[in-house]
């Protein structure tokens, strides 16, 4: 039934303690960029959060990256995109400090291997609020190779964010996926399971479950990443 598999990254393919990750990430970011940009760390953190909020509200008017840098400039009171190459260098280096908030689940690589072996297509459908360098780095932390995926959403190839349904429509349209042949696999009840409203299949991974409003999850296929691997195996039975 399913030929196309959309995977969330953080908390799904990449096991993660989200609060710890954010703390380590922002700490490393400010240590690197507060001196370079001559900006107070609290202002830098606010700029990042404002940038994320601006991208979350994107209605397709432009790429997420445009809104991110616009917010950064506004909060910091100066042109910040001139530091973009240094940002990428950070994600290849100091960003590694946040890795201790993550782990590796061998089921992730096995799922991708199995899907590709059967001729299916796999996409990293992570919320596109990071640049390519940050996203590819986190994919590798999960024990995966970015080249194993047919498409990966990042902030400079996307003009919407989850849970905006335009995000899913755009991914499927760009990849040429039929909605009824596509399944979204993720750990966030609000951001990932909303794909079902478009007719996509969904599977809720519960290892690092995000369920802000304590919603009933019994309506969705759900289980651990290992359970999800077993479900994917059964699709080829």
> Do 165 and 205 belong to one domain?
yes
Q: Are residues 84 and 175 both part of a single domain? A: no
**Residue 24 structural domain:** 19-99
Q: Which of 48, 74, 99 is the last residue of a domain?
A: 99
Residues 129 and 163 in one domain: yes
- 203 and 165 assigned to the same domain: yes
What confidence score (pLDDT) does residue 163 get?
97
Residues 174 and 229 in one domain: yes
Q: What is the pLDDT of residues 163-206, one digit of tens each?
A: 999 999 999 999 999 999 999 999 999 999 999 999 999 999 99
pLDDT of residue 68: 98
- Ramachandran angles phi, psi of 216, nearest 5°: -70, 120
CATH of the domain at 196: 3.40.50.1000
Number of domains forming the structure of the chain: 2
Q: Which of 55, 73, 99 is at the close of a domain?
A: 99
In a shared domain, residues 209 and 123:
yes
- The whole-number pLDDT of residue 237 equals 52
The answer to whether 175 and 151 have CB atoms below 8 angstroms apart is yes
Q: Is the dihedral of CA 22, 24, 27, 28 positive or negative?
A: negative
Q: Which residues of the chain have pLDDT under 50?
A: none
> What pLDDT was estimated at residue 236?
78
b/e per residue, 39-76, with b = 16+ CB within 10 A?
beeeebbebbebbbebbbebeeeebbbbbbbbbbeebb
Are residues 87 and 110 both part of a single domain? Answer: no
Q: pTM of the entire structure?
A: 0.96
CA-to-CA distance for 110 and 67, rounded, in angstroms?
Answer: 36
């Amino acid at each position: 039934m399913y030929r196309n598999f959309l995977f969330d990254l953080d908390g799904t393919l990449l096991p993660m303690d989200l609060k710890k990750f954010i703390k380590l990430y922002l700490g490393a970011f400010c240590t690197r960029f507060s001196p370079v940009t001559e900006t107070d760390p609290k202002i830098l953190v606010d700029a990042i959060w404002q940038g994320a909020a601006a991208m979350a509200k994107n209605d397709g008017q432009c790429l997420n990256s445009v809104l991110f840098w616009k917010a950064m400039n506004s909060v910091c009171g100066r042109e910040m995109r001139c530091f973009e190459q240094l940002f990428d260098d950070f994600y290849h280096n100091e960003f590694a400090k946040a890795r201790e908030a993550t782990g590796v689940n061998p089921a992730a690589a096995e799922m991708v291997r199995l899907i590709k072996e059967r001729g299916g297509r796999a996409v990293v459908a992570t919320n596109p609020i990071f640049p390519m360098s940050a996203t590819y780095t986190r994919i590798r932390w999960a024990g995966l190779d970015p080249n194993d995926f047919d498409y990966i959403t990042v902030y400079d190839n996307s003009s919407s964010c989850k849970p905006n349904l335009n995000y899913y429509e755009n991914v499927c349209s760009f990849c040429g996926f039929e909605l009824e042949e596509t399944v979204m696999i993720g750990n966030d009840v609000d951001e990932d399971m909303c794909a079902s409203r478009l007719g996509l299949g969904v599977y809720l991974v519960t290892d690092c479950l995000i369920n802000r409003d304590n919603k009933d999850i019994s309506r969705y296929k759900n289980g651990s990443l290992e359970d999800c691997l077993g479900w994917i195996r059964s699709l080829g039975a």
